[in-house]
């Protein structure tokens, strides 16, 4: 009965790793995967995570019962405080509902399903979500499959390899009132280009004046600047004006809990009463999807966030990851300058977070993979976290050859 099923294409991002794994070359480098690697190229389990797991293991009261549909209550409270701030008025006024979801992707999906069902009272445009061009490849799929109409707004300017702020403002100005707008809270993927705080304030004013609903994707809090608070500023700017928004959080990158699938969706509402009703509907979205979320990752996160000393330890390890990535930017930039590689490469040190959008085209990427065994997505995005001092010269040689060849 399944004989007619066609072979589906490999996921464009995960497919890079599949190709990398097949390559026997000893000099191969995987710059496709969006996961942190140490200077030795190894995945990293944070010390604070190991300590939290040890505490959980030794806790005689620990049980393996189902969590509620909305997840671990303490995890939800602490996650809201992490993104909105310890003394966020919205939290104090109990206008926020937070539900534990399956990492960032699951949080986006639950938010999208909720919007598709409940955000359509006034106009048909409330089923339209504007996503930046470009954006993480999974965004359009998550929103389309939930039943939303996906449109794009201009974001990246290939000429400056920076933000197309004018284009962004024009496109959001032209968007119909009531539309949803997806915003990367920080460390935009794939471009590494973020608005400044002044630009965020412009965006906020424009969106609020037009009644556009913000949906923040926060997959890299702490990874952009090394500071959890600084990276959450854009979100907090929008919460401070008293308006509504959605925020999807992931602990994959900032706690290294990739495979635990732990994240949260928060919806900031106008009143406590609305937040209670919204949460009741989120339960109806979640129950038939996966019933309730897994307990282990959320317990690790709650153990770390609730304890002042462990929280402090986490921020130090997080800063070390962010700093290593920043140092890779400097080293790669210097290596290209040393080789006299034609072109302006300053965007490598200006861009933020895990990725650099190099500006290399599909042919140049294919050349680098074939001749230098360097694996990356065909749009020229490289994961800085996949680099090390040892591999920077090899990458710089490859880029030099691709550009001059």
Active site residues: 136, 217, 253
- What is the C-alpha separation between 35 and 63, in angstroms, rounded? 31
Structure token pair of residue 325 = 């990535």
Give 208's contacts (C-beta < 8 A, 6+ positions apart): 241, 243
Q: Could you please report the per-residue DSSP string of 206-272?
A: HHHHHTPEEEEEES-TTTSSS-HHHHHHHHHHHHHTT--EEEEEE-TTTS--GGGTEEEEEEE-SSH
Residue 213 backbone dihedrals phi, psi, to 5 degrees: -90, 120
Cβ of residue 379: shortest distance to ligand PMP, in angstroms?
Answer: 14
Please say which residue, 250 or 351, places its beta carbon nearer to ligand PMP.
Answer: 250
Cβ of residue 292: shortest distance to ligand PMP, in angstroms?
Answer: 18
- What is the C-alpha separation between 401 and 405, in angstroms, rounded? 5
Query: Counting beta carbons within 10 angstroms of the beta carbon of residue 104, is it exposed (0 to 12), middle (13 to 18) or buried (19 or more)?
Result: buried
Please report which helix (H) or strand (E) contains residue 357, including its range. Answer: strand 355-357
Three-class DSSP category at 325: helix
- What is the C-alpha separation between 312 and 303, in angstroms, rounded? 12
Cβ of residue 329: shortest distance to ligand PMP, in angstroms?
Answer: 18
Q: Where are the beta strands (DSSP E) in 60-186?
A: 96-102, 128-133, 149-154, 156-157, 162-163, 180-184
Please say which residue, 178 or 263, places its beta carbon nearer to ligand PMP.
Answer: 263
**Residue in the block written with tokens 């070359």:** 25
Site residues (vs ligand PMP, CB under 6 A): 34, 103-105, 136, 184, 189, 217, 219, 250, 252, 263
Report how far Cα 291 is from the mean position of its chain's Cα atoms.
Answer: 24
Nearest to 252 by CA among 51, 35, 97, 70: 35
- What is the C-alpha separation between 205 and 196, in angstroms, rounded? 14
């Amino acid at each position: 009965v399944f004989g007619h099923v066609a072979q589906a294409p490999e996921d464009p991002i995960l497919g890079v790793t599949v190709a990398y794994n097949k390559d026997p070359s000893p000099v191969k480098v995987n710059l496709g995967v969006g996961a942190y690697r140490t200077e030795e190229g190894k995945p990293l389990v944070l010390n604070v995570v190991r300590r939290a797991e040890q505490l959980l293991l030794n806790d005689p009261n620990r049980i393996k019962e189902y969590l509620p549909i909305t997840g671990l209550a303490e995890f939800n409270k602490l996650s809201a405080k992490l993104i909105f701030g310890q003394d966020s008025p919205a939290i104090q006024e109990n206008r926020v509902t937070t539900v534990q979801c399956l990492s960032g992707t699951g949080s986006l999906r639950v938010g999208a399903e909720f919007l598709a069902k409940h955000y359509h009272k006034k106009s048909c445009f409330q089923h339209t979500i504007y996503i930046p061009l470009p954006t993480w490849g999974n965004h359009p799929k998550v929103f389309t499959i939930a039943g939303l109409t996906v449109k794009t707004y201009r974001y990246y300017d290939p000429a400056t390899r920076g933000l197309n702020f004018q284009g962004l403002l024009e496109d959001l100005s032209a968007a119909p009132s009531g539309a949803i707008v997806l915003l990367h809270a920080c460390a935009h993927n794939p471009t590494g280009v973020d608005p400044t705080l002044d630009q965020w304030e412009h965006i906020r004013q424009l969106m609020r004046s037009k009644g556009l609903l913000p949906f923040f994707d926060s997959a890299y809090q702490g990874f952009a600047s090394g500071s959890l608070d600084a990276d959450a500023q854009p979100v907090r700017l929008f919460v401070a004006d008293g308006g509504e928004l959605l925020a999807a959080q992931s602990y994959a990158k900032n706690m290294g809990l990739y495979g635990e699938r732990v994240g949260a969706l928060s919806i900031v509402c106008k009143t406590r009463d609305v937040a209670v009703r919204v949460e009741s509907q989120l339960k109806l979205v979640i129950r038939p999807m996966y019933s309730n979320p897994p307990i282990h990752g959320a317990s690790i996160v709650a153990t770390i966030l609730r304890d002042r000393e462990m929280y402090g330890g986490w921020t130090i390890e997080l800063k070390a990851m962010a700093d290593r990535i920043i140092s890779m930017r400097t080293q790669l930039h210097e290596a290209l300058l040393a080789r006299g590689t034609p072109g302006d490469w300053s965007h490598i040190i200006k861009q933020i977070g895990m990725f650099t959008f190099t500006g290399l085209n599909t042919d140049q990427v294919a050349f680098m993979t074939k001749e230098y065994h360097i694996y990356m997505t065909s749009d020229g995005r490289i994961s800085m976290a996949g680099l090390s001092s040892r591999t920077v010269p090899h990458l710089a040689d490859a880029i030099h050859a691709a550009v001059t060849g």
